[in-house]
Amino acid sequence: MDTIPIPLTGAFDFKIIELADRFQDTKLGDDLNLCLYDTGTVTVDAALAFYDVVRSRPKGIGVHIHSHVCLMGSDVLIWLAGDTRTLRGEAWVHFREYPRHWLERSEVEKLQDVLDRRDLQLSKTPFQENYLTVERLVKKHLPVNLWNRRVWGSELEEWNITKPPVPASKLVEPEKPAVKKPVTVKSNKQTQMALF
């Protein structure tokens, strides 16, 4: 399993491009271990790009993401992009739902738009659109009752959100059907055969 360090800083955007190239060079059945470190601010758009790159990789390449740092906001989506994920023992995640009242524009803002001759067809800013997309994607992996608060590793483990890495070779193998074995049940008078 190859390990790739991913800093959550200004170099993050470059790492997305590097990771996309790495997926093209990785053989099917191989695994990549991505290690998040160095807390910083990753833009919402960069988090969406990372999620897209990881999720659109060739099938048969396993991705495990381990975070050495606490994660907040769109950084949580970066961590959730992997097939499996783990956290440092004392680390936590905190995903905050976007406040719906912030989506509404005040009368003063609407008047200012008219005076500035801005024709806003959309009621949301690009940032709001992106964050709501992150919210929708996080909802696929993280139950809503774990939002808006710090969630520690032990609770994430209870919800099966954190899991140790599973080799990609096991991810692509089809399940083998269970073989039914005949069982002999003896009674006092006669022997019977049964399939379970």
CB neighbours of 22 closer than 8 A, spacing ≥ 6?
4, 32
| pLDDT for the residue numbered 122 | 55
For the chain, list residues with pLDDT below 50: 172-175, 196
Domains of the chain by residue range? 2-195
| pLDDT for the residue numbered 174 | 43
| pLDDT for the residue numbered 78 | 96
Report the Cα 116 to chain-centroid distance in Å. Answer: 41
| pLDDT for the residue numbered 127 | 84
| pLDDT for the residue numbered 186 | 57
Superfamily grouping for domain 2-195: 2-enoyl-CoA Hydratase; Chain A, domain 1 (3.90.226.10)
Instruction: Note if the pTM is more than 0.85.
Output: no
Q: How far apart are the first and last CA of the chain?
A: 40
pLDDT digits (tens, 9 = 90+) for 24-73: 999 999 999 999 998 777 999 999 999 999 999 999 999 999 999 999 99
Cβ-contact 120, 70 below 8 angstroms: no
